[in-house]
Amino acid sequence: MRRKNVLSYLYEIVSRKPDKAAFADDEIALTFRQVFDLTRSVGSFLLDRGITRRPVAVFMKKSPREIAAFFGVIAAGSFYLPLDEEMPAGRIQLILDNVRAPLVICDESTLEKAKEFDLRGGEAVLFSEIACAPVNESALAKAYDAALDIDPIYIVFTSGSTGLPKGVAACHRSVIDYVEALSDILGFGEETVFGNQSPLYFDACLKELYPTLKFGATTYLVPKKLFSMPVKLVEFLNEHRVNTICWVVSALTMISAFDTFSVVKPETLKTVAFGSEVFPLKQFRIWREALPDACFTNLYGPTEGTGMCCFFRVDRALADGEPIPIGRPFPNREILLLDEEGKPVADGETGEIFLRGNAVTLGYYNDPERTADAFVQNPLQKSYPETVYRTGDLAYRNQYGELVYVSRRDYQIKHMGHRIELGEIEVNVNMLPGIKLSAALYDGERKKIVLFYLGDMDEKELGATLKTKLPRYMLPGRIVRLENMPFTPNGKIDRVTLKKRCEA
Amino acid sequence: MEELLEILNGLHDDVDYENEEHLIDNGILDSLDIVTLIAEISDRFGVTITARDIAPENFNSASAMAALIRRLEEEG
């Protein structure tokens, strides 16, 4: 029978490899049997409370237990909403306001913090207390049978231009389609040992979570502080015999830029995938030279397209200054390159990327307006309903037919591997007392967000206040208080003049 | 030391750098901070920080960083 539930991966592997380590960090390792038991206990607890087809927040320290909590939520036919202490408090509250989860699963390190939020009627519970709840076989079986592959399994939040983050909801079918395609492309198998870098509150971690279940592979959650310590990071990979990494580019360049390979080389690494940012060719070549036998793959994809949807295996020489292409779509996906009128662009011309296929997610949770703006009828056919996702990314096809990413269409930027709406930064600044007006720009050369503003608050105080409002990667690297804001003749903030000031 | 504190305050101005001894272990400085810090230290002090030097014991406190810079200056 066709696979319709992501947990089928877990239910199949547990009888084949019960005692193998599935997920591990520097504190604990969970075997597939342990993950299975935790999943069923958490699922039973939820079902006994009648929480099925509902969002359930998981607010835990990143750990193998948090992953088991995710699966437990799915086992109840519900969908998980990951929250993390790294998110600013203001953002967490906005997310809780939008989603209204009846339950927030916490651990000992987050329970007190969770209680400081308005949980909107939701209840905070400890994972350790529900992890040994009695298993209710019949309720679990019923929930499993009742789940359709179009039912959501998670909501992850991305940046939104109005200052309100958007919750992308994705279903079983999209995730299964992604896991199958990605596993083929990157050659995952039972010998795969992942070194996970991405936080668990982004779709990026799908690359490790579900293939680990599919193959009975192993994922090590690499401690975050190692990403500041390149030699120790490589030593960690060697110690755990990690052979596969799917990391943001900045994590890879951290290693290559400091000549780490002259001290220590990755000994077991065979598969290196990267994405979310452009890999500077010079840094890429350092990696390639250090690992001549490894396979390098550039990945591209928006959260709204369930993880990644395009890939380019770097197997030909790239000319100096040639950007690494994003390549071709995964199987069962199509990329349309359209002009502003929704017509296909000619070969070599730049157009906006529209994504077609099962990978298109369900939309933004509790947000019909912004869903309607981005999840649109396929402009190329009007004969039957077909939703495609409009990415806002511009690209062209090169002479080999490969897609090459150009930039964002609007005023979204890519910084540290994150997609950021500069408008969201401005909205947050403008809401502060004493601030009159602000403009956020991106200085691509220095890779810094620069914030200009008018107001009574001084730069230091503004910087400190923003830390409680915005995620780390959205904080301006430079804050400049102005006496006068430059305007264009038709009254808009003159960003061209500001841009020149950035570069000065 | 003063110059180093100036660089550090430029990264996070709400940290008590003179007394904090676990900048790395407590996650106060993340990888972006370290990259920025190393570039600025190399610029201002004219020293080369290698991968081997980027270890928690050299970056957990301002005084450890100052000691690292002194050592590199002597070696250089």
CB contact under 8 A, B14 and A254: no
CA dist A331 and A357 (Å) reads: 9
Predicted pLDDT of residue A275: 85
Q: Select, from the ranges A148-157, A245-254, A309-318, A420-429, the one with the highest average predicted confidence (pLDDT).
A: A148-157
Q: What single DSSP character describes residue A106?
A: E
pLDDT band (50, 70, 90) for residue A265:
very high
pLDDT band (50, 70, 90) for residue A257:
confident
Mean pLDDT, chain A, integer: 92
Across the interface, which of A229, A259, A262 has its CB nearest the CB of B55?
Answer: A229
CA dist A287 and A265 (Å) reads: 10
The secondary structure element, H or E, covering residue A91 is helix A89-99
Interface test with A, best of B6, B9, B31 (most A CBs within 10 A): B31
Architecture of the domain delimited by A301-408: Roll (2.30)
Helix, strand or coil, per DSSP, at residue A458: coil
Q: Which residue has the tokens 């005692």?
A: A19
Residues 6+ apart with CB under 8 A from A148: A4, A172
Helical pair A459-466 and A422-430, crossing angle rounded to 10 deg: 110
CB contact under 8 A, A228 and B13: no
**Mean per-residue pLDDT for A278-282?**
79
Of residues A417 and A475, more confidence is placed in A475
Of residues A205 and A259, more confidence is placed in A205
Q: Is the pLDDT of residue B47 over 80?
A: yes
Domain A1-147 classified CATH 3.40.50.980?
A: yes
pLDDT in tens, A183-208: 999 999 999 999 999 999 999 999 99
Across the interface, which of A257, A416, A460 has its CB nearest the CB of B32?
Answer: A416
**Mean per-residue pLDDT for B58-66?**
94
Predicted pLDDT of residue A292: 95
Predicted pLDDT of residue A398: 93
Cβ atoms A297, A186 nearer than 8 A: yes
pLDDT band (50, 70, 90) for residue A351:
very high
Predicted pLDDT of residue A163: 66
Of residues B7 and A138, more confidence is placed in A138
Domain with CATH 3.30.300.30 in chain A: 415-503
Across the interface, which of A227, A250, A258 has its CB nearest the CB of B51?
Answer: A258
pLDDT in tens, A320-349: 778 899 999 999 999 999 998 899 999 898
Q: Is the pLDDT of residue A129 over 90?
A: yes
The number of residues in chain A equals: 504
CA dist B50 and B46 (Å) reads: 13
CATH of domain B2-75: 1.10.1200.10
Q: Is the pLDDT of residue B37 over 70?
A: yes
CA dist A465 and A470 (Å) reads: 9
**Mean per-residue pLDDT for A355-370?**
97
CB contact under 8 A, A228 and B50: no
pLDDT band (50, 70, 90) for residue A411:
low
Residue numbers in A near B34 (CB within 8 A): 228-229, 254
Percent of chain A scored above 90 by pLDDT? 72
Predicted pLDDT of residue A489: 66
Cβ atoms A355, A401 nearer than 8 A: no
Predicted pLDDT of residue A490: 60
pLDDT band (50, 70, 90) for residue A410:
low
**Mean per-residue pLDDT for A376-401?**
95
Predicted pLDDT of residue A1: 58
Q: Which residue has the tokens 């290693």?
A: A255
Across the interface, which of A255, A257, A472 has its CB nearest the CB of B30?
Answer: A472
Of residues A179 and A340, more confidence is placed in A179
**Mean per-residue pLDDT for A227-248?**
95
Residue numbers in A near B25 (CB within 8 A): 225
Look at phi and psi of residue A104 and say left if phi exceeds 0, alpha if psi is from -120 to 50, else beta. Answer: beta
Instruction: Give the A:B interface size as CB pairs under 8 Å.
Output: 57
Q: How many CB atoms within 10 Å of residue A155?
A: 26
Distance from CA of A320 to the nearest CA of B (A): 25
Helical pair A249-257 and A281-290, crossing angle rounded to 10 deg: 70
CB contact under 8 A, A229 and B24: yes
Across the interface, which of B27, B33, B51 has its CB nearest the CB of A230?
Answer: B51
**Mean per-residue pLDDT for A59-84?**
98
Decide if B6 touches A, using CB distance below 8 A: no
Interface test with A, best of B6, B15, B54 (most A CBs within 10 A): B54
| CA-based nearest residue in chain B for residue A260 | B51
Predicted pLDDT of residue A162: 64
CB contact under 8 A, B29 and A227: no
**Mean per-residue pLDDT for A362-372?**
97
Residue numbers in A near B51 (CB within 8 A): 230-231, 255, 258-260, 262-263
Mean pLDDT, chain B, integer: 87
Residue numbers in B near A236 (CB within 8 A): none
Distance from CA of B24 to the nearest CA of A (A): 7
pLDDT in tens, A457-469: 899 899 999 988 8
Q: Which residue has the tokens 């591209």?
A: A300
Q: Is the pLDDT of residue A496 over 90?
A: no
**Mean per-residue pLDDT for A158-176?**
88
Helix, strand or coil, per DSSP, at residue A218: strand
Q: How many CB atoms within 10 Å of residue A79?
A: 25
Interface subset of A 217-276, CB within 8 angstroms of B? 224-225, 227-232, 250-251, 254-255, 257-260, 262-263
pTM of the model: 0.85
Q: In what order do the strands lie in the sheet with A123-126?
A: A123-126, A103-106, A55-59, A79-83, A152-158, A166-171, A363-364
Decide if B19 touches A, using CB distance below 8 A: no
Decide if B27 touches A, using CB distance below 8 A: yes
Distance from CA of B68 to the nearest CA of A (A): 15
Predicted pLDDT of residue A254: 83
Decide if B2 touches A, using CB distance below 8 A: no
Judged by average pLDDT, the poorest of A275-289, A384-398, A481-495 is: A481-495
> In terms of DSSP H, where are the helices of A333-466?
368-374, 422-430, 459-466
Judged by average pLDDT, the poorest of A41-45, A232-236, B26-30 is: B26-30
| CA-based nearest residue in chain A for residue B58 | A229
Q: Is the pLDDT of residue A54 over 80?
A: yes
Cβ atoms A463, A452 nearer than 8 A: no
Distance from CA of B30 to the nearest CA of A (A): 6
| CA-based nearest residue in chain B for residue A255 | B51
CB contact under 8 A, A259 and B33: no
CA dist A148 and A151 (Å) reads: 5
Domain regions of chain B by residue span: 2-75
CA dist A263 and A476 (Å) reads: 34
Q: Report the topology of domain A415-503.
A: GMP Synthetase; Chain A, domain 3 (3.30.300)
Distance from CA of A459 to the nearest CA of B (A): 11
